[in-house]
Amino acid sequence: MRILLSSDKFKGALSAQGVAQSCEKALQSVFPGAVFDACPIADGGEGTTEAMVAALRGVWRETTVLDAQARPRLARYGWVPATQVAILEMSAASGLALVQDRPLQPKLASTFGTGEMLLAAMASGARKVIIGIGGSATNDGGLGVAVALGWRFFRADGSAFQPTLETILAAVRIERPPQPLPEILVACDVDNPLLGPRGATRVYGPQTGVQDFTWFEERLAHLAQLTATATGADHQQQPGAGAAGGLGFGLMAFASGKLTSGFELIAAQVGLAERIRQADLVFTGEGRLDDQSLQGKGPIGVAKLAKSLGKKVVGIAGSVTDAPGLRDYFDLLIAIKPTDMPLPEAMRRTDELIGQAIAAHTAELRALR
């Protein structure tokens, strides 16, 4: 019997790879002699790099970058030697979690460090870069990335300068750098435009400390106009342009990035369909399976694909709700958290609880063979 373990992370408790290891350990008693294929997945947000490095047998590399508040720090990214593919997460350089130790400063927060990470991947010889853009601390439309990559900005008097959000309105013209870029694929599962009621500033800005919407909208609109004039392409209305404080827009405009579904991109890179075809049983899950899982999350993508290929699917999660339609994707759903256990305790004991829950469902699991 061959079992595919293709879960997302249990956020704050176990990585996607950790979930696969816990499930395999528990399932060895349920299915003695089974062959296990660990294929961690993600949907483009935090944990994407870790899942893909594990699934593609990549390695880790480190580079020094500036975080969103211009402090030096080490950021790691994935590297797949066989294909020369670099796997990045903007959150490793410009993420919100990195700056929670001080007051948020959205007018100063920059994606410059993400641009530095891109340069490091290019220096490694990357033929392709895959970058997930969840968890941003910025609302700069990718301006920091543009500066890091060498885009030149000019004032009305012809002088060049390095702009920030506070000074970008002084720019009247920009020029692209001469250095060619590798293919850049952007894992993005939101469809927000750059500006307006559903744009980066109004939808995602508040979580990064944005309060003056007009101030940011004016500057992002000016940046969009500069890039449209320089490149002949206007990306501000494209779905996903507003992701990660406008970094979706910035990667399209300044790096010719192609935005695509995070789950679909990752599934293609790790050969998920073929691995499902080879499996007799598929395990997937995340920290909580609920109505939000149905909005493009990775485990539902795995379950849909498995069902289309005629495979039995088990969903495992910290908790499972009765969201309409959720159970249609699974042959068995397993919630590992006891109802009377406090969440912090459950998160500390996730590995143990996975083992207990799988053991408690031994008969139902064996019935799926």
Residue (of 184, 186, 205, 185) closest to 195 by Cα position: 205
Number of CB atoms found within 10 A of residue 31's CB: 18
pLDDT at residue 195, rounded to an integer: 97
pLDDT at residue 140, rounded to an integer: 98
Pairing of strands 312-320, 128-132: unpaired
Number of CB atoms found within 10 A of residue 192's CB: 23
Token reading at 138: 């910025």
Q: Which amino acid is at 195?
A: L
The alpha carbon of residue 128 and the mean position of all alpha carbons in its chain are separated, in whole angstroms, by 17
Question: DSSP string spanning 313-346?
Answer: EEEEEEEE---TTGGGG-SEEEE-S-TTS-HHHH
Residue (of 76, 98, 100) closest to 88 by Cα position: 76
pLDDT at residue 98, rounded to an integer: 95
Give residue for tokens 């008969």. 363
pLDDT at residue 144, rounded to an integer: 98
The mean pLDDT of the chain is 94
pLDDT at residue 24, rounded to an integer: 97
Per-domain boundaries in the chain: 2-39+278-366, 48-262
User: Average pLDDT for residues 331-344, to the nearest whole number?
Assistant: 94
Backbone φ and ψ of 222, nearest 5°:
-65, -40
Measured CA to CA, the distance from residue 49 to residue 121 in angstroms comes to: 13
User: Average pLDDT for residues 230-234, to the nearest whole number?
Assistant: 95
Helix or strand run (H / E) with residue 152: strand 152-154
Instruction: Evaluate if residue 46 carries a pLDDT over 80.
Output: no
Q: Which residues lie below 8 Å from residue 26, measured CB to CB, with a gap of 6+? A: 354, 355, 358, 359
Query: First-to-last CA distance in the chain?
Result: 8
pLDDT at residue 212, rounded to an integer: 96
Distances (CA, A) of 103 to 138, 212, 213, 343: 13, 16, 18, 27
pLDDT at residue 332, rounded to an integer: 96
Distances (CA, A) of 104 to 91, 138, 250, 266, 341: 15, 10, 21, 32, 34
CB 219 within 8 A of CB 174: no
User: Average pLDDT for residues 242-247, to the nearest whole number?
Assistant: 95
Backbone φ and ψ of 170, nearest 5°:
-80, -15
Instruction: Evaluate if residue 233 carries a pLDDT over 80.
Output: yes
The alpha carbon of residue 67 and the mean position of all alpha carbons in its chain are separated, in whole angstroms, by 17
Instruction: Evaluate if residue 47 carries a pLDDT over 80.
Output: no
pLDDT at residue 309, rounded to an integer: 96
Measured CA to CA, the distance from residue 127 to residue 252 in angstroms comes to: 17
Backbone φ and ψ of 148, nearest 5°:
-65, -40
pLDDT at residue 239, rounded to an integer: 93
CATH ID of 48-262, from 2.60.40.10, 3.30.300.30, 3.90.1510.10, 3.40.50.150: 3.90.1510.10
User: Average pLDDT for residues 234-239, to the nearest whole number?
Assistant: 95
Give the pLDDT confidence of 64-87 residue by residue, as tens digits.
999 999 999 999 999 999 999 999
Instruction: Evaluate if residue 270 carries a pLDDT over 90.
Output: no
Instruction: Evaluate if residue 191 carries a pLDDT over 80.
Output: yes
pLDDT at residue 210, rounded to an integer: 96
Measured CA to CA, the distance from residue 94 to residue 144 in angstroms comes to: 10
Q: DSSP code of 108?
A: T
Measured CA to CA, the distance from residue 136 to residue 147 in angstroms comes to: 18
Share of the chain above pLDDT 90, in %: 82
Instruction: Evaluate if residue 265 carries a pLDDT over 90.
Output: no
Residue 293, CB-side half-sphere exposure with 13 Å CA sphere: 33
**Domain 2-39+278-366 = CATH 3.40.50.10350:** yes
Residue (of 72, 76, 150) closest to 115 by Cα position: 150
pLDDT at residue 211, rounded to an integer: 94
Give residue for tokens 């293709």. 6
Residue (of 141, 297, 103, 369) closest to 317 by Cα position: 297
Q: Is the pTM of this model over 0.85?
A: no
Give the pLDDT confidence of 282-319 residue by residue, as tens digits.
999 999 998 877 766 889 999 999 999 999 999 999 99
pLDDT at residue 274, rounded to an integer: 96
The alpha carbon of residue 17 and the mean position of all alpha carbons in its chain are separated, in whole angstroms, by 15
Q: DSSP code of 203?
A: I
User: Average pLDDT for residues 139-168, to the nearest whole number?
Assistant: 98
User: Average pLDDT for residues 212-237, to the nearest whole number?
Assistant: 97
pLDDT at residue 134, rounded to an integer: 83
Give the pLDDT confidence of 106-149 residue by residue, as tens digits.
999 999 999 999 999 999 999 999 999 988 999 999 999 999 99
Q: Which amino acid is at 52?
A: M
Q: Which amino acid is at 31?
A: F
Measured CA to CA, the distance from residue 354 to residue 366 in angstroms comes to: 17
Residue 57 pLDDT level (bands cut at 50, 70, 90): confident
